[in-house]
Structure formats: C-alpha cells, structure tokens
Amino acid sequence: MNDLTAVNVLVAPDATTARHAHAWNARMRAGVPDGFTLDASLRPHITTLQRYVRTADLDDVYEAVRLTLAATDASRLSYRAVAIGHADRGVPGQGLAGILLRPGPQVLGLQAALLDAIAPFTESGGTAAAFVTDPGGSISRSTLDWVESYVPDQIGPDRYTAHITVGFATLDDLRAIEAEPFDAFTVRPSAVAVHQLGDSGAARRLLRTWPTPD
C-alpha cells in the first residue's frame, strides 16, 4: 500500500465567525471540561473535502488546490449560519456540537472542482499512520471510516453538511441549547487551507494555506 496522508481541504472563517465559535466552545466546555478546546492548534474551520492522498504526491495536491482557487471567485463564497446541531461520535452521554451552515452555490462549485482536481492523487485504505496522533493516542474506527467515505457521503447539495465544530457537550445540555433561538448570520472565508487530520476529524497540522480576498 502507498504511504497515505489524511487531508482536510478547509475554509477558515472570518474573524466575527471565529469569535462566535470560541464563545460556543466555551459554553460546551462548561459542561464537558475535558472536551477539546479551540486554540492556536485547533482553529475554527469549515471542512470542504477530506481524502486520503499519496504522501509522495502532496506537492501535486497543493498545486491542484492552488490552481482551483485561482480559477474561483472567492469573493462569492459564503455560508449562512442557521443553528446549533450535534452528531453522535460514540461518547456515551455526549454529542459533538457544531454551528450548522447553509452553503451558497459557489461553495458547492468549489467542492466539486477540488474533488476533481485532487482525484488523481487519492487512494483508499488509509490507516492510523495517515493521521496526526498524540503520544499514546489512537485514531478511532469512526474517523478512519469517515475519511474513507467522505466521497460520496458528503459531496453535493443533498449530502454536504457544512459546519464549524465547537466541542463536545452533554446530551442534556445540547437539547437545551438546540431549543434556544439562534440568530442567523453570514459567514465568509478568510483563507483556504490544507491540513493533516487527527482523530474526530480535527484539523491538526497546517500543510498549506492561501488567503482569500477581503
């Protein structure tokens, strides 16, 4: 098997959205103090595409992303934050919460273009070695399977669940939070980047980044 790297092609949101994400993260950690913290090593982000790519071809992946962005009017990329939601990631009594986003059509166009651009460099069958792991840490089966099945499960207007992950919370807290009114707001990108993934889909290691125009 080829040496593989699990990559996340992601959008870094604008500063206002990042402040919202940090505020929600603090609220989640009030109930689950040992949940993850948004900080300099784990910044708010919007996943666009996850894939296993051949490590030897990473420079080609970066160039494919760069050329795709050069052909994209990034000023038209936008999302609408519409709710707080959660997914069950296998922790009893907890859910992984996120700000749910409604992507604009240009976002879906970018996703499709990126998928085509890096397809020649992808492989299936990634293992824990493809990810960033902490000493003594591991990569869950759900994380391995998520990256493996990201295409086609999260591709296109009827499948892509755009979101900004904001932390683990108890299911009781999430029921209360999700019942509260949510003030919708517009999200715009500040950059597009490629990261190497860690467990639970965390964007752990920055590999390349490209700022988007203001």
For residue 42, count CB atoms less than 10 angstroms from its CB and return exposed for 0-12, middle for 13-18, buried for 19 or more. Answer: middle
Residue 24: inside a domain, yes or no? Answer: yes
CA distance 53 to 150: 13
Reading the block at residue 14, the tokens are 């604008």
Q: What is the average pLDDT across 50-66? A: 98
The predicted-structure confidence for 111-158, as pLDDT tens digits, reads as follows 999 999 999 999 999 999 999 998 988 999 989 999 999 999 999 999
State which residues form the domain around 30: 4-208
Residue 138: inside a domain, yes or no? Answer: yes
Domain count, the chain: 1
Q: Is pLDDT of 1 > 60?
A: no
User: What is the percent of the chain with per-residue pLDDT over 90, rounded to a whole number?
Assistant: 84
Single-letter amino acid, residue 28: M
Residue 214: inside a domain, yes or no? Answer: no
The predicted-structure confidence for 162-190, as pLDDT tens digits, reads as follows 999 999 999 999 999 999 999 999 999 99
State in Å, rounded, how far the first CA of the chain is from the last one: 42
Residue 189: inside a domain, yes or no? Answer: yes
CATH number at residue 159: 3.90.1140.10
Residue 38: inside a domain, yes or no? Answer: yes
CA distance 55 to 61: 9
Residue 166: inside a domain, yes or no? Answer: yes
